[in-house]
Structure 1
Amino acid sequence: MVDIWNPDTFGLELLSLLRAESQLVSDFYSEKDRLMKEHLNSSTYQSLKPNRFDPAFSSFKENNLTPVLTDTRIRVWHYTRLLDHEVEMMQQRLVPSSLDFLENRLQHLVEKGMFTKEEADRVYQESPFHSQKELRSGRLWTVTLPLHCRDEGVLPLLENWGGESAYSELSDELLAAKLKRFGAPRVIEIETSLSDRQNAFMASDTVLEAWAKSLGVSVALTGCDLAITNCLCTAKLVRVLTEGERAFEELAKTYPEGISEKIN
């Protein structure tokens, strides 16, 4: 299993490919940094100049690196808020998001006396799934770069039960506050394939940034959102981190091992 932000975990085929093009990778990111500094320090406004290494770099990324990554399994991170029984269900089988899945989860809250039927119906009716079904259904959203639990990009997912499909368009503030009391913040470590070429292409940026950084180039690792879809049946839950556990609090700081020196 590869951490795409950590070259120490890269397989032999991936390392061989990157080593062969180290000069190109170094040149591209060094030039990118130089052009950005020149742009920001220019006395009069001017457009950012094109990177002269971009044609060769883009070709390498799309035609050489991406195909290798489609045969690679990587670790990704899913930020959520779950009840204990939902963790147990997730450990048995990873389930993609859907309107039916949200309805079943809400029904469980009603059965346990945590929600009234009217409250559950309100959350269901105002779910963005109704207007964004194609965008949200059949996906398990993750990130390729672990983020600390206080990062503003993931904090709402950890604070609100049900994810965006439950809270993002909910108009009732009292009901929204109630969602914050269910379950506990969790981060799910998942091992997944990059057999979806689009995911492999998106992940390639972080791989290249990490490699450039290992060459001594000043570059910030960005990471990306990654939706597990077609390969969900082969994805594996590695570990569940729960608020209060040391690993949860240290995520993206000292856990996983080496994370601080690799991304900072």
Structure 2
Amino acid sequence: MIIDIWDTQSYDEPLLELLHENQKVIYGYFEEEKKIDDESSRKKTWSPPRSNPFVHGYHDIQEKISALMQDRTIRVFHYTRMTDAEVDRFMGDGIIPTSLEFLEVRINRVVQEELITAEQGKEIFKRSPLHSPALYGVRKGFWTTTGAFHPTDPGVNLLLEHWGGESAYWCITGENDDELTDTLRNLGRGRIFEIHLPVADANHGNANTSLGAPIVREYARTLGFDIYPEARDITIYEPAPPSVIIRHHNEGDEKYDHFGRGYPERHDPPM
């Protein structure tokens, strides 16, 4: 069974039972949050908001949900830009986590295919933030998210618009970088991959700890609360077989254009 974090209809029976059993606490927490927000908005001078009496029970439910999620499989999405040849290799070879070595392999391939020049390839590699984790953070791993976002969403649009993702474009921001930026924008097409991921295989085995909160929030939306759904970043640090890659959508395709707005089925984007 595959669980979509944003779709309570995909939740399995044990998950739903736990949520139903704690419905009063979940409802009470969000109802109290509305009252606290209203009280704060009517204050003439600032003072700390009062605590929510349901907060401890609410966090306890999140932890229990997170524990249940450890042996589940969820659908996640990877937003990227690839050439057609790269898509074919990806669907055949499976997931290879980001690394400086793999970036070099990808650059060498598009150079050999004469899609960019050798000089451009060297410059892209030299400017990669993967060389400087102390400055730009450790970016190893294969990034996915539980959220189905439209290609224009600011959380994913740059990934879809630039070949190589953050490992390639992140540091190419200077006044004289327009040509190199255009090269990254013109290489390949935007792609969205759907992946069925065992939760235990992600985030060094700790991905489940971040899933309780968005699941409880999604359930609260079914109780009538107008709250913004949350997505979670999920990172794969080890190679994964092609069998986990379910399908992909290409820039220019109908489902790509409607992604996050009508697709996937039952996805309810926030207004």
Q: TM-score, normalised by structure 2?
A: 0.90
The 10-residue stretch of structure 1 (214-223 or 232-241) with the greater mean CA deviation from structure 2: 232-241
User: What are the equivalent positions in structure 2 for 1:90-239 lying under 5 Å apart?
Assistant: 90-92=90-92, 93-132=94-133, 135-137=138-140, 139-170=141-172, 171=174, 172-195=177-200, 196=202, 198-230=206-238, 232=240, 236-239=244-247
Deviation at 1:193, TM superposition (A): 1.4
Q: How many residues align?
A: 261
Deviation at 1:218, TM superposition (A): 2.5
Query: Conserved in 2, the CA contact under 8 Å of 1:4 and 1:74?
Result: yes
Deviation at 1:214, TM superposition (A): 1.0
Q: Give 5+ residue unaligned stretches, structure 1.
A: none
Q: Deviations over 1:81-100 (max 9, x none)?
A: 11001111111211111111
Deviation at 1:232, TM superposition (A): 4.0
Separation of aligned partners in 2, 1:86 and 1:221: 33
Is 1:6 the equivalent of 2:7? yes
Deviation at 1:235, TM superposition (A): 7.1
Separation of aligned partners in 2, 1:98 and 1:201: 25
Distance 1:32 1:192, change over 3 A: same
Query: Conserved in 2, the CA contact under 8 Å of 1:192 and 1:231?
Result: no
RMSD across aligned positions (CA): 1.9
Q: Which amino acid aligns with 2:70?
A: T
SS in 2 for 1:257: coil
Deviation at 1:161, TM superposition (A): 0.5
Q: Deviations over 1:33-85 (max 9, x none)?
A: 322232233221223332221112112222x2111001111111111111001
Q: Which amino acid aligns with 1:18?
A: L
Separation of aligned partners in 2, 1:161 and 1:132: 20
Is 1:77 the equivalent of 2:82? no
Separation of aligned partners in 2, 1:162 and 1:259: 28
Residue of structure 2 in register with 1:247 after alignment: 255
Question: After the TM superposition, which parts of structure 1 deviate over 3 Å for at least 4 consecutive aligned residues?
Answer: 230-235
User: What are the equivalent positions in structure 2 for 1:35-54 lying under 5 Å apart?
Assistant: 35-54=36-55
Query: Conserved in 1, the CA contact under 8 Å of 2:146 and 2:234?
Result: yes
Residue of structure 2 in register with 1:89 after alignment: 89
Q: Which amino acid aligns with 1:75?
A: R
Q: Give 5+ residue unaligned stretches, structure 2.
A: none
SS in 2 for 1:180: helix
Separation of aligned partners in 2, 1:36 and 1:226: 31
SS in 2 for 1:178: helix
Query: Conserved in 2, the CA contact under 8 Å of 1:3 and 1:74?
Result: yes
Query: Conserved in 1, the CA contact under 8 Å of 2:97 and 2:239?
Result: no
